[in-house]
Structure 1
């Protein structure tokens, strides 16, 4: 196997050692991911205890039945995390999933080492102080960061690094929610699509190890308590309709969330102060709603409360709307946290609204209105992330109710299909990741792996001599509309010259300078059969604006020679990317 291409899908006797190494790495990353899930949970619980049990009594301001001191908890948290995120690690802003997309697709799986520890700290404070955010984004970024560091230290190739990043993410999710199957599917469905079954096995293995490690520390009770003895087959059609409706609700919220992000981005105040603005909105909502209703923090406790003590339909609707606002305020302003917990809460509230409204009008038809809370969770998250499978199995593992699989799949697949059409393949995680007019998508890496360099390289080569005067070089660039030229000296490739570098030279010296004095040496080339993703990895690693496509041939007396076949520039890659988007 050529280690610079991709992970082979056919382990044989020759590469058994290789796969043993991969599984060993996956086990190590899985154990670390489970350990980080423990640390993050303890950290959030500890900070929440400090804010609500120690700090709140000191700043309590009672006005009737309302405690205005609650307003200041998320504000204090935002004032702590804002400067840290802005000055130390901007990657820790928001959920962290978009950062992973960018790292996996464009940076060869590289993440700065400081990101993981910083993310634990800022996300714990954001969520513990009352910010409306989830833990899936933080744990995903932290777990993937460990995989990236591990892969970099061992000098693994980019595809192996991406696999270990996915293992770390899956293990963290599995350990956080006691959901090894859902954790693995989260990584594969949202982050690393297109891998073969054999390539995905280490991810499931890492997720199982992560869940095992976390379960050794925490009780293995289900995250959400729920009992369902059976499902009325006559309601399956309603599940389908509800799934479609939730896709529309998710689409509206994504647009609102996107608008909030852009609005906060446009505010002319220091970046470190922006989370405080969002915290004010969140704090106001917390003040005027009961603490146990889930508007404080992730919202998981609110889900448990409404399942035990159902609300009237209008209150379900109201709390769902308020959670939408507070989550967009927290994350959109630059707070640190994901959308998993809040999206489950929002889905639960709207699902409860539909379920109990239907029960009111059709009491003999709706057997269990609480079921619609779970239908709402699955359909809403599926529509937001364009990922119907992982949410189905995460909810089944979080509740231990296997009867949920069929209803959840019906609703989540329906919402997935409608949302994919509405969002054109993007998701709430990738909407802001654009290059020009092109958005990163979860399948970007898979698509780039299936495009060969030879399919898109420019073969209309115009070469120049190293002795060519600069003014003549500029004239050739203008005449042919090209920005880079291979430099050949008596047929031998010696460099590459960029027209942009011309402007770094003193204009008065142009008459006396030749291409030889401005060209860049060619230390890295790529073969035509390599994938476009491999090409992007090389260009990022060596900071190249263009890369020459070459092929090694054998000449007389077994001597080898390099022939120039083409050139691939950043513009060529962007055009290929846009073509994939149109298809």
Structure 2
């Protein structure tokens, strides 16, 4: 028997064409936009590096120049103390009267904008963030350029997306594309920048975002080669130890790096809490941090600035044990105080220096020498502090050009990561966001609502009402205590005619509906939503939200018969099934 045609319905979904990915033509549009954003991120990085060099020359030599020069060379002690304070005062004023968003190291702010700010960054941030960071670093602040360029490159991508009125999800893709491009242009690490985007910034794994991010990084990598040349940022002549014991040592070093990451994160936020208790306006906190930096520089001038020369010296094995230990202790102290004061600057370069110093100290007793273990330690500290093990492992290899070290850097990274996730509730990046009342779960999993189809959760062969039933009988049926709030009405062949609810029966009773009418006469002009057994549960959830209907019939795509019923409660079954797989023993 054939089934009568379904009533015309605004809510009738097409039969789903189930695919592994949700990519469509918009991915091509985003990919083309990412080429422009990648170039913008690279230009932003070039400008930031020039601004840092300009600020360094102005503060320490009193001249207009963008040549790279060392800090504190030939400076007297008073100047060494004064310059970081002066730069921090300027940053504090910029934050108070310009934008508070320039405070901090950039990555938490980018994450918060992505998750809670619809990926909208302003032109003011795009201008003030690199300028304030250049002043902070150029005056001696113990920070790196990566956090600021992530914020600046992200702002470039966000502004581009806003200019063309893209959606929030598309803005996020271009924001992260600009951020990753900026990091690529600073460090020359396109692969690690892509992984950083995936592990820290995107909070998804989709072709829509992955393809544009990769293209943006490749554009930035090409442009970087034009002004800084090809090759790794920190070339070093290293010979990797091999064998089981080398991997075991790398894993052990990773455990130490994870513990140090936990100590650094805890100390940082204790320092920040201490600043919040001070009886002075937060605008002056960076000046206090700058004073500590200056005093620390009197002990060891190497703690000033980003310290890329120190990283190179650690990789070259050019520092003695006493110098390494002093750098580790003093750099950690001044960096924690300065960052906790709320000034502007990045965390990655200081972390690399600290992790490299701890690795170099271990290398005094391990085979291969200090330089090898300094590089391996950098992978560990980045993994432990930022919760990005793949990024950390690859970043250290890309920075030095020693990709043969990947087994060792991965062992160190996974050791640090394991300790970090067990002993730290949150990373050094997400703790700041959590303190603002926003919890972030840094774990990726497939949405249960997208994993299953309706047939997995529906109630098969539901109770139905015939379209020949009289209105009087339907009112009596509901008055006698019907089990459900609504029921599908079907024709002789089982095809859907409509839905009748307890509310309908009450309305008929109060409105004087002719009791002798059949249900098919009452429902002839009614449109009802329905789904197919193959409809993804996520599409069902959207349909329930769109229509406000709590019970949706499921129709057979072959003949249109009602074969099931799904409810709001059924939606939770998918989540329950996944949780059961995780908790219940086999």
Q: Do the structures match in fold with TM over 0.5?
A: yes
Q: 1:263 to 1:451 in 2, by over 3 A?
A: farther
Q: Does 1:283 align with 2:279?
A: no
Shift of residue 552 of structure 1?
7.2
Within a 5 Å distance, the mapping from 1:82-481 to structure 2 comes to: 82-196=92-206, 199-233=209-243, 234-290=245-301, 293=302, 295-308=303-316, 310-356=318-364, 358-359=365-366, 366-424=367-425, 426-434=426-434, 439-443=439-443
Aligned length: 457
Q: 1:445 to 1:191 in 2, by over 3 A?
A: farther
Give TM-score, length-normalised by structure 2.
0.71
Q: Does 1:551 align with 2:547?
A: yes
Shift of residue 443 of structure 1?
4.4
Q: What's the secondary structure of 2:261's corresponding residue?
A: helix
Range with greater deviation from structure 2 (148-157 or 249-258) = 148-157
Shift of residue 182 of structure 1?
1.2
Q: What's the secondary structure of 1:208's corresponding residue?
A: helix
Indicate conservation of the 8 Å contact 1:191/1:442, yes or no.
Answer: no
Give TM-score, length-normalised by structure 1.
0.71
Q: Which residue of 1 aligns with 2:45?
A: 37
1:132-158 CA deviation, whole Å, 9 max, x = no partner?
111111011111111111122222111
Shift of residue 449 of structure 1?
9.5
* Structure 1: runs of 5 or more not aligned: 3-7, 57-61, 360-365, 455-489, 492-527, 536-547, 555-564, 567-578
Q: What's the secondary structure of 2:432's corresponding residue?
A: coil
User: Aligned partners of 2:139 and 2:75: how far apart in 1?
Assistant: 21
* Structure 2: runs of 5 or more not aligned: 1-12, 14-18, 65-71, 455-502, 505-535, 553-566, 569-578
Q: 1:380 to 1:448 in 2, by over 3 A?
A: farther
1:105-134 CA deviation, whole Å, 9 max, x = no partner?
122212222111110110000011000111
1:427-455 CA deviation, whole Å, 9 max, x = no partner?
10110212786622444898799799x9x
1:395-442 CA deviation, whole Å, 9 max, x = no partner?
222211122211101100111111011123x21011021278662244
User: Aligned partners of 1:450 and 1:128: how far apart in 2?
Assistant: 49
- State which structure, 1 or 2, has the greater radius of gyration over its C-alpha atoms: 2
Indicate conservation of the 8 Å contact 1:140/1:169, yes or no.
Answer: yes
User: Aligned partners of 1:33 and 1:315: how far apart in 2?
Assistant: 36
Q: What's the secondary structure of 2:238's corresponding residue?
A: coil
Q: 1:529 to 1:263 in 2, by over 3 A?
A: farther
Q: What's the secondary structure of 1:132's corresponding residue?
A: coil
Indicate conservation of the 8 Å contact 1:195/1:446, yes or no.
Answer: no
Shift of residue 39 of structure 1?
0.6
Q: Does 1:28 align with 2:36?
A: yes
Q: 1:447 to 1:382 in 2, by over 3 A?
A: farther
Shift of residue 318 of structure 1?
2.4
Range with greater deviation from structure 2 (340-349 or 47-56) = 47-56
Q: 1:210 to 1:83 in 2, by over 3 A?
A: same
Within a 5 Å distance, the mapping from 1:466-545 to structure 2 comes to: none
Q: 1:421 to 1:437 in 2, by over 3 A?
A: farther
Indicate conservation of the 8 Å contact 1:66/1:288, yes or no.
Answer: no
RMSD: 3.8
Q: 1:432 to 1:213 in 2, by over 3 A?
A: same
Q: What's the secondary structure of 2:62's corresponding residue?
A: helix
Q: Does 1:68 align with 2:75?
A: no
Shift of residue 20 of structure 1?
2.2
1:488-520 CA deviation, whole Å, 9 max, x = no partner?
xx99xxxxxxxxxxxxxxxxxxxxxxxxxxxxx
Indicate conservation of the 8 Å contact 2:83/2:140, yes or no.
Answer: yes
Q: What's the secondary structure of 1:133's corresponding residue?
A: coil
1:369-393 CA deviation, whole Å, 9 max, x = no partner?
3211112111111100000111222
Q: 1:438 to 1:447 in 2, by over 3 A?
A: farther
1:319-366 CA deviation, whole Å, 9 max, x = no partner?
11211111112211011011000000101111111111x15xxxxxx1
User: Aligned partners of 2:337 and 2:436: how far apart in 1?
Assistant: 27
Shift of residue 18 of structure 1?
2.6
Q: 1:449 to 1:306 in 2, by over 3 A?
A: farther
Indicate conservation of the 8 Å contact 1:36/1:172, yes or no.
Answer: yes
Q: Which residue of 1 aligns with 2:514?
A: none
